[in-house]
């Protein structure tokens, strides 16, 4: 039976955040973003391993983030891009996984994932022939800008989705997709699409947003607080 493994690419600097540390190490309600991500996967019984991929010169990581998690491993093999980091992570765990095992790639700065949403993704995709990802149908009107940041066109939002993570694909498929992709894909699904495959879209949740700017921390915190009430 195929097992489920998690890769958390955390080698980025988070330059758009403008903070003193990479965004995955910023605090949200008393815990770092990456710690919250690890805890969700560690508590999921279906998950066999959690693999955190850091840059070789990372000075912010703390072993306390693992909280004695027996599932977690840290690999200092991050690259200059997300795709390289994920591929290096796949190579690092190759001896521990089977070709048809599932790999879930999840952003280190996406702390709003819940066990319920994770289980929904796993049960929806575990027998799928391709795999897929969490995503949200777009609700806002989209505008395309010109070089002067004036509207050049309105883009119809019908059938458009905003990709989230985890993105879940078989080990062999994902590795082949990342190796063969011409350029640098924006996410794992784009690389898999380039193989001629069609990943399934699984409805995500607003609280599973990616923290990119400082105000995003306040949004995620507010969503978590409101759900506790």
Task: Find the mean pLDDT for residues 75-87.
Answer: 97
Left (φ > 0), alpha (ψ -120 to 50) or beta: where does 47 sit?
beta
What is the pLDDT confidence band of residue 226, given thresholds at 50, 70 and 90? confident
Domains of the chain: 4-228 (3.90.550.10)
Q: What's the count of helices (H) and strands (E) in the chain, helices before strands?
A: 6, 11
Q: Give this prediction's pTM.
A: 0.94
Among 9-23, 76-90, 133-147, the least confident range: 9-23
DSSP calls for 161-200: EEEEEEEEEEHHHHHHHHHH-SS--SSHHHHHHTTT--PE
| Rg for the chain, CA atoms, rounded | 17
């Amino acid at each position: 039976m195929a097992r489920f493994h998690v890769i958390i690419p955390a080698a980025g600097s988070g330059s758009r955040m403008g903070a003193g540390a990479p965004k995955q190490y910023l605090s949200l309600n008393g815990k770092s973003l990456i710690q919250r991500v690890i805890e969700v996967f560690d508590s999921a019984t279906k998950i066999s391993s959690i693999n955190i991929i850091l840059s070789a010169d990372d000075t912010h990581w703390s072993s306390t983030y693992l909280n004695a998690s027996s599932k977690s491993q840290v690999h200092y093999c991050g690259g200059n891009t997300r795709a390289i980091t994920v591929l290096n992570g796949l190579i690092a765990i190759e001896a521990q996984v089977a070709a048809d095992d599932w790999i879930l790639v999840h952003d280190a700065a996406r702390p709003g994932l819940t066990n319920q949403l994770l289980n929904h993704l796993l049960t929806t995709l575990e027998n799928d022939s391709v795999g897929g990802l969490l995503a949200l149908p777009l609700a806002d009107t989209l505008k395309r800008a010109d070089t002067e940041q004036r509207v050049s066109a309105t883009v119809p939002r019908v059938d458009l989705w905003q990709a989230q993570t985890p993105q879940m694909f078989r080990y062999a498929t994902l590795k082949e997709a990342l190796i063969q992709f011409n350029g640098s894909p924006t996410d794992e699904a784009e690389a898999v699409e380039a193989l001629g495959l069609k990943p399934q879209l699984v409805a995500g949740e607003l609280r599973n947003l990616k923290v990119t700017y400082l105000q995003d921390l306040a949004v995620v915190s507010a969503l978590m607080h409101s759900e506790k009430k």
